[in-house]
């Protein structure tokens, strides 16, 4: 069994709608992390 590659079609809230290289569509839950600012005021 070889690898399967997916392309993100859309993102709707916590869900991503994917399409594989063979045309199979799939929905999956996603989570985005957040970064905290440093004490120096940097963006991370």
pLDDT digits (tens, 9 = 90+) for 1-44: 889 899 999 999 889 999 999 899 999 998 777 666 566 665 55
Residue 1 has a pLDDT of 83
Tokens 């709707």, located at residue:
12
Residue 19 has a pLDDT of 95
Question: Is the model's pTM score more than 0.75?
Answer: no
Query: What are the sequence ranges of the domains in the chain?
Result: 1-30
Residue 30 has a pLDDT of 82
Residue 26 has a pLDDT of 92
């Amino acid at each position: 069994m070889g690898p399967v590659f997916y392309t993100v079609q859309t993102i709707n809230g916590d869900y991503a709608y994917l399409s594989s290289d063979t045309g199979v569509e799939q929905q999956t839950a996603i989570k985005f992390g957040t970064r905290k600012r440093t004490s120096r005021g940097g963006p991370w």
